[in-house]
Chain A
């Protein structure tokens, strides 16, 4: 168990079970590779035009591009929430599924749901770019009501206690960027 306090204090855990803090990209890559049916859920905070914090881009590269590269590297289907689909299409990628954050979570908690590719429900869901208070609440739903069949993971630059696996609170964008690049790199190597 980690004693990490989330960056946004509205997300402080009131409970016992908190996310495992993962700082090593290869550990994340292993978890993703081990999953039979992972799913990447993208939120609007990865879009340049709606991003609320400091990391509109990482060194000039829009954050959404990291997400799409990662999905491609590990052949992970994408659920585009909110208005993410539009930007994805502009970048030449069609999402596998379009739901809002609360809707996809509503499906994921049902073990009998057939998943976005109609191959059965997912066993790993990776959240990226949902407003942090909403994302933490979505993770809470899954922690409480999907723990029998689903693990959760986040790629945002902050710690999310309700996830199963979370990144740390990166002080600097460069550290976050390095993690994402390393993760994509490892996943790509795994494909080869």
Chain B
């Protein structure tokens, strides 16, 4: 007789939290998983995609035993070696990212529960029934109200505490276990992001169940400088939406201009299509230094930490609106509004105001009072030339530039009135301002560059939130068969080698009928370049989650809808149960969903956790060259690694020899190489011959374009049978395959990792 497993008190508590008694799906094996619960899945991933560590620092200096030199096999005083130290730092980065989104979610949830009550229903619109794929998959709870989301975020908080604990002196010692923990933290990040964005969509009535969202004006020149200007910077829309409400309610919306930088800008335009987007993070300091913003309202994440200092330079006023960043300012939350306004206007003071309603009122009043005295403007050509002429070509600016730009040469060109090369350089500037502080001649380099900054304005489509279930039903089959060659997610920050890169890649792959989705800074910069007829990618391509569509999903927290879409394919299209069934979802995604993330300008810890969360779900991510400084990639070695897989139909392990996907966290040095890699990383073992042919067609054609001819060196690894060879290259590929002695292989009927590693998941669980 089979032994009946005793349910522990802890398990009972979890079942209560996830309302296990509601039978929308059977509860899967890992409800609200803790650190060890998905460890075996992680170890399977890490067996093929081994961590590649590039230490940024040879030492550990996290405790007073140190500094400890960890080179050449040395261990620190605690016993930790260099690999585990790198993995520990990665875990810390992922935890920072995860906690930033989780705290954002927690704050916005409190704000909206205060406003609407905990019983406010979650309604994502007519076309979205599967409202929370990450939450349902990870926790097993189907959230029905804002109050349910609170249960979810409290689970995330609890896990963060345990994970952070493991980074303390004298705890975890294995780099693989640290990686597993980083993967866990990053999976939780997608849960936290989903909580945040569902709450925002429900609480602020952001667009949902719609593709054709309004077009928004973008670019600094879209800001009407004749009006008082309020600039919103950060990620949390509690303040920005309240500002819009205040202006509407007081009949001021025509009189005050509202613009945003970074994700708050995207959130604000989901609330009001009249708000403007100044640009991504990389344009923050640059725009602030123009002095066009009368009042700068900051909330959280990716805001300049020297905002009051920068604001003082140009007579702008700062209101810090969230406790995450109070800048040492006086907390005026309880003060009389008129007194705050008076001090900000007359004494040029900045304040922290943590009540969004009060902050909004103060911002509007202060902006209207000080705007008429605004003196700062764009630099004149004469002033720029004069300042640039002071440059002695000492190259200190170039030496400190994170993007390695030849700024001294640009100063020389500008001083001589030659703007062509400096304009190109400005497109590569990430706007950190480090050059300014190094200049021995005190040239305000960032300000001088205003003279070459494009005054173009562009159109971007407002973020639309989750992918609709109806869209998934339409594209599920072509994606898994490979006839839609891939779903590409352009995400992450703006630490780009060149700001045009993202738009170029989006344009190329939308034309090739990939589905392109975007979030955050990547969504903004994709719209900051025009193509034929002077149109941006948002004007040129349809907004549908379908072949050739370009979809702005929304802000950073909207990244959860991208992983959510992958889960939806497994659940809605393939009918695999998702409830507390993460391992099965991830196994489906890595083996059958041709998706690839491109975090081309990834810079922050949030980007680290977003990307690592994609990796645990089986979505490979291509990173830009800066990202080697994250210290860790997940790479395979295609010729040597073990590419055996279970064919669930035949119930036997098959040696495919096919490295698909080849890597799951990889750095490309140039845009051109990234464009060759993208189609390759969308190849999956599940592709039909027709689908594989389409994917190989893109791989070969982009290879030929950027490598100047020939065939990819690893092409033979991806051709299973003659039918996989794209028609247009048939002859050439056949000759090549014959030359190298290629032998055909049987495609795998139903590829899965289940059955190739120790797991509680039965093979039948992946058969649909």
- B637 contact from A8, A52, A107, A131, Cβ within 8 A: A107
**A22 interface hit (Cβ, 8 Å):** no
Assuming the contacts A86-B706, A90-B708, A137-B629, asked whether A14 and B57 have C-beta atoms less than 8 A apart, the reply is yes
Assuming the contacts A89-B709, A102-B666, A134-B628, asked whether A10 and B402 have C-beta atoms less than 8 A apart, the reply is yes
Q: Are A133 and B399 in contact (CB under 8 A)?
A: no
Q: Which of A75-96 contact B (CB under 8 A)?
A: 81-83, 85-87, 89-90
Closest chain A CB from B594 CB (angstroms): 21
Output the residue of A17, A87, A134 with the most chain B CB within 10 A.
A134
Residues of B within 8 A of A107 (CB): 637
In the complex formed, the residue of A with least CB distance to B400 is A9
**B670 interface hit (Cβ, 8 Å):** yes
Residues of A within 8 A of B707 (CB): 83, 85-86
In the complex, per-residue mask of B398-433: 1 if CB is within 8 Å of any chain A CB, else 0: 011110111001000000000000000000000000
Q: Which of A1-47 contact B (CB under 8 A)?
A: 7-10, 13-17, 43-44
**B345 interface hit (Cβ, 8 Å):** no
Binds A, one of B48-56, B103-111, B208-216, B353-361: B48-56
Q: Which of A29-76 contact B (CB under 8 A)?
A: 43-44, 50, 52-54
Give Cα A52–Cα B404 distance, bound, in whole angstroms: 8
Assuming the contacts A52-B405, A85-B707, A132-B404, asked whether A137 and B56 have C-beta atoms less than 8 A apart, the reply is yes
**B69 interface hit (Cβ, 8 Å):** yes
Assuming the contacts A102-B635, A140-B54, A144-B71, asked whether A133 and B404 have C-beta atoms less than 8 A apart, the reply is yes
In the complex formed, the residue of B with least CB distance to A102 is B667
- B669 contact from A7, A13, A131, A145, Cβ within 8 A: A131
**A143 interface hit (Cβ, 8 Å):** yes
Give Cα A85–Cα B713 distance, bound, in whole angstroms: 11
In the complex formed, the residue of A with least CB distance to B626 is A133
Q: Are A14 and B626 in contact (CB under 8 A)?
A: no
**Interface of chain A, main secondary structure:** helix
**B673 interface hit (Cβ, 8 Å):** yes
Give Cα A8–Cα B403 distance, bound, in whole angstroms: 9
Give Cα A20–Cα B708 distance, bound, in whole angstroms: 38
Q: Are B52 and A140 in contact (CB under 8 A)?
A: no
Residues of A within 8 A of B669 (CB): 43-44, 81-82, 100-101, 130-131, 134
Q: Which of B611-649 contact A (CB under 8 A)?
A: 625-626, 628-629, 633, 635, 637, 640
**B82 interface hit (Cβ, 8 Å):** yes
Give Cα A14–Cα B68 distance, bound, in whole angstroms: 11
- A106 contact from B52, B406, B670, Cβ within 8 A: B52
Residues of A within 8 A of B640 (CB): 113
Assuming the contacts A9-B399, A106-B637, A131-B625, asked whether A52 and B58 have C-beta atoms less than 8 A apart, the reply is no
In the complex formed, the residue of A with least CB distance to B625 is A134
Give Cα A138–Cα B710 distance, bound, in whole angstroms: 28
Q: Are B667 and A134 in contact (CB under 8 A)?
A: yes
Q: Are A8 and B399 in contact (CB under 8 A)?
A: yes
Give Cα A131–Cα B146 distance, bound, in whole angstroms: 48
Q: Are B708 and A138 in contact (CB under 8 A)?
A: no
- B628 contact from A50, A133, A145, Cβ within 8 A: A133
Q: Are A82 and B667 in contact (CB under 8 A)?
A: no
**B72 interface hit (Cβ, 8 Å):** yes
Closest chain A CB from B46 CB (angstroms): 14
Give Cα A7–Cα B70 distance, bound, in whole angstroms: 25
Q: Are A145 and B404 in contact (CB under 8 A)?
A: no
Give Cα A143–Cα B708 distance, bound, in whole angstroms: 34
**B672 interface hit (Cβ, 8 Å):** yes
Q: Are B625 and A100 in contact (CB under 8 A)?
A: no
Output the residue of A9, A17, A144 with the most chain B CB within 10 A.
A144
Give Cα A7–Cα B53 distance, bound, in whole angstroms: 24
Residues of B within 8 A of A188 (CB): none
Assuming the contacts A102-B667, A131-B404, A132-B404, asked whether A140 and B56 have C-beta atoms less than 8 A apart, the reply is yes
Closest chain B CB from A98 CB (angstroms): 5
Q: Are A83 and B706 in contact (CB under 8 A)?
A: yes
**B59 interface hit (Cβ, 8 Å):** yes
Residues of B within 8 A of A85 (CB): 707-708, 710
- A82 contact from B401, B406, B633, B673, Cβ within 8 A: B673
**B540 interface hit (Cβ, 8 Å):** no
Closest chain B CB from A9 CB (angstroms): 5
**B303 interface hit (Cβ, 8 Å):** no
Q: Which of B219-252 contact A (CB under 8 A)?
A: none
Give Cα A70–Cα B670 distance, bound, in whole angstroms: 25
Closest chain A CB from B298 CB (angstroms): 27
Assuming the contacts A83-B706, A102-B635, A106-B637, asked whether A50 and B670 have C-beta atoms less than 8 A apart, the reply is yes
Residues of A within 8 A of B404 (CB): 8, 10, 52-53, 131-133
In the complex formed, the residue of B with least CB distance to A141 is B54
**B332 interface hit (Cβ, 8 Å):** no
Give Cα A130–Cα B404 distance, bound, in whole angstroms: 12
Q: Which of B65-93 contact A (CB under 8 A)?
A: 69-72, 82
Q: Are B71 and A15 in contact (CB under 8 A)?
A: yes
**B14 interface hit (Cβ, 8 Å):** no
Residues of B within 8 A of A89 (CB): 708-710
Give Cα A128–Cα B580 distance, bound, in whole angstroms: 50
Q: Are A144 and B53 in contact (CB under 8 A)?
A: yes
Q: Are B625 and A133 in contact (CB under 8 A)?
A: yes
Give Cα A8–Cα B404 distance, bound, in whole angstroms: 7
Give Cα A43–Cα B405 distance, bound, in whole angstroms: 18
Q: Are B629 and A133 in contact (CB under 8 A)?
A: yes
Give Cα A130–Cα B56 distance, bound, in whole angstroms: 17
Assuming the contacts A83-B707, A106-B637, A133-B629, asked whether A147 and B72 have C-beta atoms less than 8 A apart, the reply is yes
Give Cα A100–Cα B713 distance, bound, in whole angstroms: 12
Give Cα A54–Cα B398 distance, bound, in whole angstroms: 11
Closest chain B CB from A100 CB (angstroms): 7
Give Cα A81–Cα B713 distance, bound, in whole angstroms: 12
**A174 interface hit (Cβ, 8 Å):** no
**B314 interface hit (Cβ, 8 Å):** no
Closest chain B CB from A126 CB (angstroms): 17
Give Cα A143–Cα B707 distance, bound, in whole angstroms: 30
Assuming the contacts A9-B400, A16-B71, A137-B629, asked whether A83 and B672 have C-beta atoms less than 8 A apart, the reply is yes
**A173 interface hit (Cβ, 8 Å):** no
Q: Which of A108-162 contact B (CB under 8 A)?
A: 110, 113, 130-134, 137-138, 140-141, 143-145, 147
Closest chain A CB from B456 CB (angstroms): 24
- A15 contact from B57, B402, B673, Cβ within 8 A: B57
Residues of B within 8 A of A90 (CB): 708
**B302 interface hit (Cβ, 8 Å):** no
**B475 interface hit (Cβ, 8 Å):** no
Assuming the contacts A85-B707, A131-B404, asked whether A138 and B54 have C-beta atoms less than 8 A apart, the reply is yes
Output the residue of B70, B633, B707 with the most chain A CB within 10 A.
B707
In the complex formed, the residue of A with least CB distance to B624 is A134
Assuming the contacts A14-B56, A102-B667, asked whether A144 and B82 have C-beta atoms less than 8 A apart, the reply is yes
Q: Are B635 and A16 in contact (CB under 8 A)?
A: no
Closest chain B CB from A77 CB (angstroms): 15
- Can you list 29 A-B pairs, Cβ within 8 angstroms, ordered by A? A7-B399, A8-B399, A8-B401, A8-B404, A9-B399, A13-B58, A14-B58, A15-B58, A15-B69, A54-B406, A81-B669, A82-B672, A83-B676, A83-B708, A86-B706, A86-B708, A86-B709, A89-B710, A100-B666, A100-B669, A106-B52, A110-B637, A131-B625, A134-B625, A140-B55, A141-B53, A143-B71, A144-B55, A144-B71
Q: Which 3 pairs between the two chains have the least Cβ-Cβ distance? A: A15-B58, A86-B708, A137-B628
Given A90-B708, A143-B71, 17 extra CB contacts under 8 A: A10-B402, A10-B404, A14-B57, A44-B670, A83-B670, A85-B708, A87-B708, A98-B713, A102-B628, A103-B635, A105-B52, A131-B669, A133-B628, A133-B629, A134-B628, A137-B628, A144-B71
Using a CB–CB cutoff of 8 Å, the interface residues on chain A facing chain B are 7-10, 13-17, 43-44, 50, 52-54, 81-83, 85-87, 89-90, 98, 100-103, 105-107, 110, 113, 130-134, 137-138, 140-141, 143-145, 147
Using a CB–CB cutoff of 8 Å, the interface residues on chain B facing chain A are 52-59, 69-72, 82, 399-402, 404-406, 409, 625-626, 628-629, 633, 635, 637, 640, 666-670, 672-673, 676, 706-710, 713
